[in-house]
Amino acid sequence: MLRKFMNRSFVTSTLVLLVAIFLALNVFMTTVVRDAQIDLTEDRLYTLSEGTHNLMKSIQEPITLKLYYSEKEAVDIPQVRVLAERVKDMLGAFSRISDGMVRVEIIEPEPYTEAEDEAEAAGLTAAPLASGEVVYFGLVGTNAIDGQEIIAFFAPEREARLEYDLASLVDRLNRERAPVLGLLTDLPLSSGPGGMMAAMQGRSQPFVMYEQLLGNFELQELGPELTSIPEDVDVLMLVHPPALSDTALYAIDQFVMGGGRIIAFLDPFSEMSQVNGPGGEAYTFSSAASLGPLMEAWGVTMDGSKVVADRQRALRVGFGANMPPMDYVLWLGFDNRDMDGDDLVTANLNYLQMASVGALEPLEGATTRFIPLLKSSRDAMLVDFQEAQFQTPPDELLRSYKSSGQSYVIGARLTGAVKTAFPDGPPPLDADAQVEPDAEPLSDPIAATDNANILIIADSDLFNDQFWVQVSDFLGERLMQETSDNGSLVLGAAENMMGSNDLVSLRSRAPVKRDFTRVEDLRREAEARFLPQSQALDDKLDQIVQRVDEIRGSGMGESDDGTLLVTPEQRAELQRLLLEADTTRKAQRDIQYELGADIDRLGAWIKFFNIAFVPLLVAGFAIFLAFRRRRQMRMQGTQGGAIHV
């Protein structure tokens, strides 16, 4: 009896002790390590990056962040509720990392209150609900000198970019002045598709990339008649520039000689330039030679008559209603295998989309260091730019495709020593150059620099919305959802050249585009196998249709009931041709079926593995364990019997 009582006391004491440990552990976790978390996502989207830590620790003056969140009204909107908790957690982390220099206030703007008036006055978006109520879910940031930045509404579609959106807002408030980016372009970036005329009629909006540049930098747009680069310009960005005069080239040359940094997006054929320009006209020129002698001085060259075709990186494009989507080898999608993982501009990028790109090559004897940042695959070749200009159909390009086995450089960084392209001094001023009356004459050239830093990308179509962003209307505002990292490349390059690298690593922390590489390989192999047969059948069908038309044209008219009047021989030939056409179309359908057969078989195996194989494996393992245990019990029973005897 005493032993039973002691056992019960021991069990009770153990349970009480476990409950006490559990409560103590909960209190400890809540008060001491409440912000500890384990991020199991592949891209660590829920872990603040080193760049964010650096930004928060660099804050010298207080920054106030007011989160206006209608918690009661959002109770039935799970997406908003979950995102709101993440926003709160991230803002709290900002405050802790910055040692309180980031002050966070969470405000519920209830209807008809002063808080609601503040949210509305700041420009936050009130999202209407079916009940007639509205939800505020935005942020207002202010600094000590009355600077203000807002996020009008935290759209769930932007969750993958949340850290960047918040960190960049804090960074803008922390700057003494916005960095100045000089922009020289002949593309209608500011007016959008349709040019200035369409913009004046209210039919167009700026390209999203231009809005992003405008929101992150103080943008100074320069014209081709420039005679010098303004002193406050930190970085000069050239985007498909026009043919420049010697005076303008000299200004760019001396900007580099004086320590200025260049980002150039040059193009053998800019498909984006085919939209109407500022005056309503369309451009067709190549910008590969726009910089003239500067490219030679920098130690790089690009053939303006050739574009890179790449079968492995081709985008799937539909050309016409009657043609199924096919690989278009002139529109390319690059993943991180094609990018330099050591350079800050490309290290964190996942996916880029471009069109009709050029190939960069270092010049023999160049004094600069040529560092490739972006390359094609080795299943690539160079084709005449007119293949892009006249939109040669994808199947024709594939049939004539002959890989060079060479990888082509599409983006590169040039660093090191550069000599001026104007050793004989400044050129005479152009007659049409716009010079201020009190402007100083062109100075004697700076002969050389040892610290040139130039980025060149052989494409400008990456600025086109269709290659990197989906734009939708959200409560009267344009909501952008990135489909590739083109924006991260352009903005990150500018920030890197300005010496601010903390935000560069944040721009591309969106989910990676992950292709089913085995499926893509099967599809390409099938297309390479069946395209010749498909083309032969197409040609045969065209011949049949042409012969049928000839017979109809040579007939004797139509009878009263609309029947075609032909000779018996012609009627027999028509019947044969129609039967042959049906047979040809059936053969075409069979080829289309065969194109996807290997992929369907792979899909069936994957389904079997996911649905049946794993459960069967688990069941088999359980049966094995049961059999093994039963065998062990029999052996133990046999041994026990022997001992008993």
Question: What pLDDT is recorded for position 543?
Answer: 77
What burial class does residue 353 get, using C-beta atoms within 10 Å of its C-beta: 0-12 exposed, 13-18 middle, 19+ buried?
buried
pLDDT tens digits, residue range 8-29? 665 577 767 777 787 776 666 5
Length of the chain: 645
How high is the mean pLDDT of the chain?
A: 81
pLDDT tens digits, residue range 306-329? 999 999 999 988 776 666 788 999
Residue 347: pLDDT over 70: yes
What burial class does residue 533 get, using C-beta atoms within 10 Å of its C-beta: 0-12 exposed, 13-18 middle, 19+ buried?
middle
- Cα 206 versus chain centre, distance: 18
Cα–Cα distance between 281 and 285 in angstroms, integer? 12
pLDDT-derived band at 437 (thresholds 50, 70, 90) equals very low
Residue 436: pLDDT over 50: no
**Of the candidates 208, 237, 207, 205, which has an alpha carbon nearest to the alpha carbon of residue 220?**
237
Q: Are the C-beta atoms of 134 and 109 separated by less than 8 Å?
A: no
Q: Are the C-beta atoms of 412 and 371 separated by less than 8 Å?
A: yes
Question: What pLDDT is recorded for position 522?
Answer: 57
pLDDT tens digits, residue range 540-592? 767 777 777 777 666 555 554 555 555 677 677 767 777 777 777 777 666 66
Cα–Cα distance between 302 and 324 in angstroms, integer? 34
Question: What pLDDT is recorded for position 470?
Answer: 87
pLDDT-derived band at 634 (thresholds 50, 70, 90) equals confident
What average pLDDT score do residues 424-431 get? 78
Question: What pLDDT is recorded for position 279?
Answer: 47
- Which long-range contacts does 70-77 make (Cβ < 8 Å, 24+ apart)? 70/108, 70/109, 70/110, 70/133, 70/134, 70/135, 70/136, 70/137, 71/108, 72/108, 72/110, 73/129, 73/133, 73/134, 73/135, 74/135, 74/137, 77/135
pLDDT-derived band at 380 (thresholds 50, 70, 90) equals very high
Residue 251: pLDDT over 70: yes
Inter-CA distances, 273 with 159, 232, 266, 287, 530, Å: 33, 29, 12, 10, 36
Cα–Cα distance between 280 and 632 in angstroms, integer? 88
- What pTM, to 2 d.p., does this model score? 0.68
396's tokens: 């024709």
Question: Which are the contacts of 294, defined by CB distance < 8 A and separation ≥ 6?
Answer: 249, 252, 253, 256, 421
Q: Are the C-beta atoms of 254 and 420 separated by less than 8 Å?
A: yes
Cα–Cα distance between 169 and 166 in angstroms, integer? 5
**Residue at token pair 């041994």:** 639
pLDDT-derived band at 278 (thresholds 50, 70, 90) equals very low
Q: Are the C-beta atoms of 67 and 139 separated by less than 8 Å?
A: yes
DSSP 448-514: EEEEEEEEEES-SGGGSGGGTEEEEEETTEEEEEESSSHHHHHHHHHHHHTT--TTGGGTT-SPP--
Q: Is beta strand 351-355 parallel, antiparallel or unpaired with respect to 326-335?
A: antiparallel
